[in-house]
A and B are shown apart, each in its own frame.
Chain A
Amino acid sequence: MQHGKFVMMGSVESNREVQDGHFLMSVRLPPAFATPLPGQFILSHLKNRGDILLGRPFSVSGFHRHAHHVQIEILYRVAGQGTRLFARLRAGDGLDILGPLGRPFEIPTGIKNVILVSGGIGLAPIRYLLTSIRAMESERALRTDVYMGAKTVDELLEPEAIRSLCDELQVCTDDCSMGHPGLVTEPLEKALKSYSLKDTLVCACGPLGMVRRLSEILTQHPLACQVSLEERMACGVGACLGCAVAVRGENGEKQYQRVCREGPVFNLRDILWE
């Protein structure tokens, strides 16, 4: 019987505020830590905190394998009590890490264009997907167009780094402080018909409003779309059924699936809007 998976102890290498309330943390882990697939997440526990019990799930934003260790990058927004404590971590602090977990983005054979759409901190998994696509370029060349939105330019994460990794970047800000003035789905909607249905995949992560709007505009031009969802989570391994999301089952019936196991990446068309 296989029971070789362990919670691994990581060590914070750096944890800096890259934009207002948004942090990029780099954690060093033992080499036995499996290479995450883009879209997968980790569940991270603060050590020796009796008051904060549950781990916090974070999308993997970057990963580097070195000779004697691996490095995982986590891009996160301070959203509550837990992430506020993560933001206080300093180089050398310890963290328990469970993962990589969950269902990744999957780019089917035949796909030639990938449209990546992010809203706010939704960039976290999109960033790793983009670097992974670039890393496998020699085996499989894909065109990547990124539509990246944020409330304001001060919350726009690493636009120049993203620009250098993709074929085309469209930046959007709700308050008109940079790029397209308005929602990230607006320029995408305009460009939508220029993408071929048979070889284009949309991969998205962002606030529910953005995902919902995406599902509306994609009814006009039904490109395949995978979206990474977020929900409060306790165990991360499928046992607690806390992270439920309403989806259409195989026979079209409504059912609750687990963000941690059947997700976090779902087919947009399967998501039920309640």
Chain B
Amino acid sequence: MGIDQKLLPPDLAVHIGGLKLKNPVMTASGTFGYGEEYAPYLDLNQLGAIVVKGLSLEPRMGNPPPRIMETPCGMLNAVGLQNIGVHAFIRDKLPFLRQFDTPVIANIYAESVDEFPMLAGILSEAPGVHALEINISCPNVKKGGIAFGTDPKMAADVTRRVKTETDLPVIVKLTPNVTDIAMIAQSVEAAGADAVSLINTITGMSVNVETRTPHLKNITGGLSGPAIKPVALRMVWQVVNRVSIPVIGLGGIMTADDALEYLIVGARAVQVGTANFINPRAIPEIVEGIEIYLQKHKMTHIQELIGSLKTG
């Protein structure tokens, strides 16, 4: 052995479909804008990937305020997929993101099954988009969104039609608001999905007892943050056991230990969402924490950690 293994930093690279990530920690859609909002606070090159705010064919105004409410160890949101539309994203936001050595994953949302392949086609032509994440799990929109994600046949149909329009890796983002999330995961895997990401937010609600009105104008919203982590982790573990495509875990990751839990149960990569709001440098700090953990446990590659759960 010419090289002392202990002196080399551990290899954090993972593959999702055909996409290589330098580390397994990416942003969760809707929590990092289009990247530029956080660029003053951290080097975007440190991210495993940037998953941008959900894009639709046409701009969307979003829901009326109030849109967010803090709840114990979490927050509810009902933004309603406000976005500038896919064309403005490609024209105004993507050139900025191309400066970085970080893959860009476009999260796509549509009101009808027909619009998904159109969005996939448009984004596949755009230089600087490295993968697609299909949002069939937004709880805060009236049309589409979660409706596609709760029906295994529709979820598979959307996946199949997106796959025919793109050569990019396709990740399907799943909703936890179902009886058996692993069944939906199997269904999109059979339809050709390259990976699944889970979980999107858990539908929730909060009421002001003085006024007896909901805290959110939309009445219900999506719960995120540490409050949902045990539920999300359980679902990731269940899905890992039922599919062979990579699983991207998310839900309440605030620290490196949280991310490690997901990786240990078998997630190939993780996404960090709400934590960005609390600490703009959460992701680089989590990446560093994972590296330190691997060194401490004498692992040279993150693959040694992924799926290493001991259940006795």
Contact = CB atoms under 8 A, between A and B. Distances in A.
> Range of interface residues on chain B?
35 or more
Contacts, number: 121
Interface string B264-291: 0000000000101111110000000000
Contacts of A6: 41, 281
B74 interface: yes
A52 interface: yes
B118 interface: no
A30 interface: no
A3 B43 contact: yes
A243 B67 CA distance: 7
Interface in B85-103: 99-100
Given A98-B280, A246-B64, A237 B41 contact: yes
A213 to B, nearest CB: 20
B30 interface: yes
Nearest to A233: B68
Contacts of A256: 61-62, 64-65, 82
A53 B61 contact: no
A232 B67 CA distance: 8
A53 B70 contact: yes
A240 B277 contact: yes
A1 B75 contact: no
Interface stretch (B31-39, B109-117, B292-300): B31-39
A3 B77 CA distance: 28
Interface residue range, chain A: 35 or more
A231 B65 contact: yes
Contacts of A82: 70
A241 B31 contact: no
B226 interface: yes
Contacts of B72: 51
B100 to A, nearest CB: 8
A222 interface: no
Given A53-B75, A239-B31, A5 B40 contact: yes
A52 to B, nearest CB: 7
B79 A242 contact: yes
Contacts of A242: 67-68, 77, 79
28 contacts: A3-B39, A5-B40, A6-B281, A45-B278, A50-B226, A53-B226, A53-B274, A54-B70, A54-B75, A98-B280, A231-B65, A232-B68, A232-B69, A233-B68, A234-B274, A235-B31, A235-B277, A236-B277, A239-B32, A239-B277, A240-B30, A240-B33, A240-B79, A241-B33, A245-B65, A246-B64, A246-B65, A256-B65
Interface of B: 30-33, 37-44, 53, 61-70, 72-75, 77, 79, 82, 99-100, 225-226, 274, 276-281
Given A45-B279, A256-B82, 13 more contacts: A4-B40, A5-B40, A6-B41, A7-B41, A7-B279, A54-B278, A232-B67, A234-B77, A239-B53, A240-B77, A242-B77, A244-B79, A254-B61
Q: 4 closest Cβ contacts across the A-B interface?
A: A239-B33, A242-B68, A5-B40, A239-B37
